[in-house]
Structures are given as structure tokens and as C-alpha cells.
Amino acid sequence: MAIPKEDDATPVHPIPSSVIIMNESTPLISHDQYLASGPLHTDTRFHLSSCITLSSDEEIKEKEISGLSLILLSSLLLTGVYVFVKSLSTTFPSAEIVFARSLTQLPLGLLGCLIFKVNPLGKKGVRKWIFFRAVASAVALSLLFYSLSKLPLIDATVIFFLGPIFKVMIASIILNESFSVLDGFYSICCFLGLVWISKPSFLFNQITFIRFDEQEEEYQKSFAIACALAASLMSAMAYITVKKVGQGTHVMVHVVYFGLVASLLNLPILVLQLQEFVVPKYDWHELGSLLMTGVLAFLGQYFLNQGLKIAPVGPVTLLRTSDVIFAFIFGVAFFKEIPEFYTVVGSLLVVGMTTAMSIHRWHRQELRTAAIKRRRSKDKLARHQQAQQQQHQAQHQQQAQQEHQAY
């Protein structure tokens, strides 16, 4: 499986984010006339096959498969981080786990910057946005790790999966992006799924006959659900900053900023004893597991970044569901967490609606991109024809002058 080099000029496919990468150097050949005539994406109907279709070119297809494999491997590694977090949470507070992960990632990020010859501070014009992205990501991770310590693995993962819904909502408010009626429908369905997963006692006590022996336990569950929701919201805020940061910032710069900010954010929690610090034993189970949360997260983030550069957007959207699938498998295998009927239904609803929204918005973006390309191709073709016409007129005038002089 080939990992793309950092100095590759242009990815095969644009990174599926709010930033659209377009090739402006298309030569004026017959392909422009094809675009100008308008057959590309003139059929506005959505076809599911477009989400799973790979390139017909064997070389590009091989790169796409490599990209999808990297994304799948990244999903496996990051879910493995959640398993370590949940296992460690019986001994260590969530803030200490985040602190250990960030302290592990920080030197790895600095080493990566040294290897790739990248300034760890990033470009001057976007440093404040990189910092803001790191703060949002660090807060999101801290909240997510707390929820993982209190909730079943599948519950916390699916609630965190609501990030795309929040991203669309925030983008419509801050960036004035469109929010259609269909987006609203998907959002409502997702929050209905959230209700089924969280099972609030005032709605489900009579139906499921689930009762907490102590009110404190119910409060902790509700607070953990709120933390998972807040983590999803903060991850969406971090994603929105891609508009400001752009695609030019190296992934190792983000790792360095995140490691530093997350460390500084969680250190006061431990120093002020808001969560009690536990000295880890020098063995694999404790110290080794704490280190592995950082190593696996570092590798997962790197593979994800590399995979997104060459994987086709449609299959990537569908492959995102692997996070939930791995969470379900690991939850059952390692923690004997058998999800209830309502949890399964709610999870399917959330995953299905967020995936449908992502595919719907990707399809709309494809139509807009194709329309822009057709319009630019028409303009370029018109300029080319005008230049040819002027050239013909100049040649005709020159020929007429030569004939007149000869006469």
C-alpha cells in the first residue's frame, strides 16, 4: 500500500472539506468544448453508484484504493485509541489520559516537522487560526474522553458522529453557506436518533423499565451525553476553521499545536485537583497504554490526512461509517457492551442521516463545480474563437494590402 509523498503537486481528488481545490490550468483542447456544451453533470439526479465508483484509469484507481485503505486503517487506529481510553478510565481520570496523549503527540509532531522540513509554527498569516483550531480540537477531545469514561463505547462514538450536522449549521450561520429543507430534515432525524440513544428517563422509564438505583448515576450519564454533544460541536468548530487555515498547512503543524494546547489545557485540571492525578505504574498495562493513546492517535491522524488526499470523495463519505462499526465490534469484544434495541435504532438513524446529508451536499458541490467549469470553459472558448477571428481578419487585411500593392 503506497503512501503518497508530501511533495505531490496535486491530489487525485480534493480533500473532502469546505475548501474546494480546482485545477485552473486546463488546456484549451476539445475537452473545453465538451464542458462548454454542458453534458457534465447536466443530469441533476443523484445516482448512488457515483458514491462507490472508482476511476477507470488503472494508475489512478490504484491510488484511490490506497487512499481508502489508509482511511480505513486510520479509523481502526483511532477507534483503538478509544478502547485504550475506556480501559484506562477505570484507573486514571480523563484529563490525565488527554494530558498523556498530548505529551506523546507533541514530540512526535516536532520530529515530523523536522523530517518534512516544516516550520512547526506554520505560516504567519494563519497562525491564529491554527491556534483556534487547536483549542477547539483540544476541548473536543477532553470532552469526548470524559464521555468515553462514562458511556458505552458505541453511545459516545455515535453521539460524536453528529459533528457533520453541527458543521452544516455553523457554516450556514458563520460562513453564509446554504442550509436546505433537506438538511433540516436530516438534522431533525439525527436528533431523534440522539433521543433514542440517550433514552431520557422521563420518556423511556415506562417503556424500557430501566431505572437507576441512584440519582447520581443518572446525572453522570446525562452529563456525559452533554459532554459528547459538546465535543461534537467543538469538533465542528475546528472543522470550520479549515476555511481560514486552508490546505497549505502541514498536518504536523496541527499535531504540534494540538499537543501543546491540549497539554496546557488539561494540566491546570490536574494541578488544581479538579480531577485527582494518579501516578502510573511502570508497566505495559498503565504507562504503556497511556503512551499508546498518543502513538495510535498520531498514526491515525497522519494516515487519515494522507488518505484524504488521494481517495475519492464519494467512497470516503460512505467509509466514515467504519468508525461506528469498529466501535460496536470493540465494545462487544472488549467491554461486553451489548447495545439495546433503542441504541441500535438510534445509531442507525444518526449514521444514516449524517451520511445522507454528506452525500447530498457533496452532490450539490459537484453540480456547482461542474457549472463553474462549464462557464469558464465557455468563456475561454469564446475568447479563443474571438482571437482566431481577429487573427483571420488581420491575415485577410494583410493579404488585401499585399494584393493592392502588387496591383
pLDDT in tens, 282-293: 877 899 999 999
Q: Across the chain, what does the average pLDDT equal?
A: 82
In a domain, 170, yes or no: yes
- Looking at residue 38, what is its pLDDT? 39
For residues 47 and 143, which has the higher predicted lDDT (pLDDT)?
143
In a domain, 209, yes or no: yes
In a domain, 108, yes or no: yes
- Looking at residue 279, what is its pLDDT? 92
- Looking at residue 404, what is its pLDDT? 65
For residues 394 and 117, which has the higher predicted lDDT (pLDDT)?
117
In a domain, 240, yes or no: yes
**In terms of Cα–Cα distance, which of 262, 252, 280 is closest to 102?**
262
In a domain, 47, yes or no: no
Cell numbers for 331: 465494545
Tell me the pTM: 0.80
Chain mean position to CA 227 = 20
Other C-beta atoms within 10 Å of 185: how many?
13
For residues 328 and 244, which has the higher predicted lDDT (pLDDT)?
328
In a domain, 166, yes or no: yes
Full residue range of the structural domain in which residue 225 is found: 65-182+203-340
The CA-based angle 242-301-118, given to 5 degrees, is 70
- Looking at residue 308, what is its pLDDT? 87
**Helix H or strand E encompassing 51:** none
For residues 326 and 200, which has the higher predicted lDDT (pLDDT)?
326
- Contact yes or no for 154/342 (Cβ under 8 A): no
Q: Is 215 exposed, middle or buried (0-12, 13-18, 19+ CB in 10 A)?
A: exposed
* Total structural domains within the chain: 1
pLDDT tens digit sequence for 71-95:
999 999 999 999 999 999 999 999 9
The amino acid sitting at 311 is A
Share of the chain above pLDDT 90, in %: 52
In a domain, 31, yes or no: no
Report the half-sphere exposure of 32 (CA within 13 A, side-chain side).
17
Length of the chain: 407
In a domain, 228, yes or no: yes
